[in-house]
Structures are given as C-alpha cells and as structure tokens.
Amino acid sequence: MNWLITFAGAVLVSVVLRDVFHTLWHPTRHGGLSRLVMTALWRLSSRRPLRRGPSGLAGPVAMVVVVAVWALTAVVGWALVYWPHMPQAFTYASGLRPGEHADFPDALYVSLVHISTLGLGDIAPAEGWLRILAPVEAIVGFALLSATVAWTLGIYPALARRRALALRISHLARTRPATEQIDADAGAAILDGLAGAVSVVSVDFQQYAESYYFHDGDGRTSLARQITWALNLADQAASARHPDVRLSAAVLRAALDDLAAILDERFLHTGGRAREVFASFASDHGRHAGGGA
C-alpha cells in the first residue's frame, strides 16, 4: 500500500512535467491540464459582456490559475512520495517528535520546503534514494519558476504582434482603397506585408496557443474583428490587372487560409472555409466580423 501511494505521487509529478513540457517547450502541442483550465475559464468569462472585467482578465487569470495548478499538483505529488516513508526515513530537528510529525500535512510541509528551495532542514530525508529525490524536487521547483517567467515573456510579445496586425488592417480598412489604387507596385507591397504579418501570427497561435484566450480590447486592435477585412482585400486584389498584385493577393489569401486552418483545428472546430472560421473567431471573442471601425 505504501508503494502504491508513492507510485500515485510519482504519476502526479509526471503529469505536471508532461503538461509543462507540452505547453511551453513543444511548439506544436498544448498541455492537457493547461488547455482544460484555460478553456474552462474562457467559456466562463464569455458569459459576461466583453467590456467588463471578467472577460478582459480571462487570459491573465487563466495563466495564474494554470501555474497554481501546476505548483499544487507537483507539491501534492511529491508529498505522496514522502508520506509513506515518514517518520522512519527522515531525520527531525531536536525538539520535534517524529511520531507527531508523520501525517500527510507534514509531508506537504516537507514538499513545500523542497520545491521552494528553502531547505529549512527541520525535517530532512535520511535514506539514500530520498536524499536524491529531495534535491530533484528543488530542481523541478526552480525549473517551474523559470518556465513560468519564460512563458510570460513569450506570450505578451505574441499578443503585441497580433494586435499590431489588427491595427494595420484597421488603418487600411479606414482608407477604403479602390481596386485601381491597389493595382500598383505599392499595392503589391502592402499585400506582401500583410501576408508576412499573418504568417507570423499563425506561428504565434501554434507556439503560444494560450494567446487565443486573451481579449484584444479596443476594436481596432482586435484581430477577431479586423481579419475578415483582410480576406476581403485579398479577394478584391485578385481581380487586379497588375500580375504582381494578383500574385501578392494569392499569397495573402494562402496565408489567411493557413491562419483559418490553425484557428479551426485548435480552437473553433467549425469545419468551414476561411470566412466561416473568421466569423466564428469574431463571435467567440465577442466581436462582429467585418472590421474597418
């Protein structure tokens, strides 16, 4: 029975490490625990009007909750590893009676001390394999902290790139360029720039899938609202006489199709074409597709 409890603790620790790996370090996957938490909080916040606090804070709060779930699960997992071997496999500071400090709360205390790298030493492992595991837990705790910092530093630049693209599309939409204006070298350059920015955002959604669960605030910086206008621009430019403009329009349309495929595969699951996916994207973010405002 003791080894079964220890095994259960090892499984919990493995689940956390796997989830951290797939969330932060595997660019084409997303952790199961983290995705479950973020999706649940996103759906819960979506029941409230967009401009109220709960919706706008859904992404940051979800990240905090995910990190808390990781830490709590890891602490409980290591505590389950230690608990069956207390007090006989541990040494206690003078003044502590081993028999009175061998319950599960004491194992949680030992786990918290090690994962936080405090190293108080009042209760310390004495057996060889436990003396090795305790520093390993400290390493895991330090890695979890470092991973959380790296996650934060990575996701906010991705959000900035997404909002910059939306604002660029909004600038173009407000000028309402005619087909004759696009049918020039400058038009081809504009389309190429948009295609490149869309490709970058597509990669961001793959590598930082959690960024989907962040609202973009003002309508002009909301990609969910503006992206359909880029699709309209690509269709408009496809009928241009300039061959470079037609080529750039085709490249932009391909980039938009790829973005729609990523959004649909990972988040929306509509099974529709790009325009339908972008409409669902706008609806999921509390916006109306079309842009230009």
Stated length of the chain: 293
Q: What is the pLDDT of residue 52?
A: 47
DSSP 291: -
Q: What is the pLDDT of residue 200?
A: 97
Q: Tell me what the pLDDT averaged over the chain comes to.
A: 88
Asked whether residue 138 carries a pLDDT value surpassing 90, the answer given is yes
What is the model's pTM? 0.82
Q: What one-character DSSP code corresponds to residue 184?
A: S
Residue 196 binned pLDDT confidence (cut-offs 50, 70, 90): very high
- The confidence score (pLDDT) of residue 60 equals 87
Q: What is the pLDDT of residue 179?
A: 86
Nearest CA-CA partner of 275 in 289, 288, 265 = 289
- Model pLDDT for residues 147-158, shown as the tens digit of each residue: 888 888 889 999
Concatenate the DSSP letters of all residues of 115-167 into one string: HTT----SEEE-SHHHHHHHHHHHHHHHHHHHHHHHHHHHHHHHHHHHHHHHH
As a dihedral over the C-alpha atoms of residue 219, residue 224, residue 229, residue 235, rounded to 10 degrees, the angle is 180
Give the residues across from 91 on adjacent strands: 124
Q: Which of 56-65, 87-96, 173-182 has the lowest mean pLDDT?
A: 56-65
Measured from the Cβ of residue 239, the count of other Cβ atoms closer than 10 Å reads 12
Q: At 15, list the tokens.
A: 């689940």
SS3 91: strand
